[in-house]
Amino acid sequence: MRLYILSGAGLSAPSGIPTFRDGGLWDRYKVEEICSAEAVAKDLAKVNRFYDERRRELAKVEPNEAHRYFAQLESRYETIHLTQNVDDLLERAGADPIHLHGRLTQARCMECAEVFKIGYEPIADRSCPKCDAALRPDVVMFAEVAPDYRYLYTIQADIFIAVGTSGRVIDIADIAQKYPISILINPKREKRVTMFGEFDEYVDEYFTHFIQKDVTKAISDLEDLLREAL
């Protein structure tokens, strides 16, 4: 059995990583000022300070039970895990995900585009060790291309599992329809919202199974569904 997992902010929220919506970071910051291509071009120092703070927060938290569960799934099933999260909690739990939006623990040169591992260190006052140009977070900003989105519709799997994502950035409802078994884990129902606007329907209506729980409390339900599918 092959699994296709797509995770979002709800996977890392129980570990203490702030989400962006619903009382999260976007209530404290303006997207266009710290997380957009325009912001990088206009005020890189401000962008770097914002992500330095996110990196400091990341250094203080640990993987939660759900990170560890999805990591051990990789030892039991053929699994491809795409994550929208830029933290490294899945890796610390032993998983090997594809990061659709980049990695917080890496920096990228503004000139030569070389990528460097920086862990949890600040980059606000550092420069590229190769060409001495300015560094930026190795994170996909709004209005930038996300190269690894090419995986979203090309994966072949028996089961699609969306966990901790509202579907506002990636249309998980559309993806779910392409798989015979699809499972959504999210603590609340979300209206389907795409680039064409908000629909008068809920994302979970497109899935064969909906576990309406916090991700750490949904593990036993998910395990039961996977056993039934065997």
Q: 101 catalytic, yes or no?
A: yes
Q: Which of 81, 99, 101, 209 is catalytic?
A: 101
Alpha-carbon gap, residue 98 to 146, rounded angstroms: 12
* Pairing state between β 78-83 and 2-7: parallel
6 Cβ contact list (under 8 Å, min separation 6): 81, 82, 83, 84, 152, 160, 161, 162, 163, 165, 170, 172, 175
In angstroms, the first-to-last Cα distance of the chain is 7
Token code pair at residue 118: 């920086």
3-state secondary structure of 166: coil
φ, ψ for residue 161 (rounded to 5)? Answer: -120, 120
Residue 210 amino acid letter: F
Q: What does each C-alpha distance from 185 to 5, 142, 207 come to in angstroms?
A: 11, 25, 10
| Catalytic residue ranges | 101
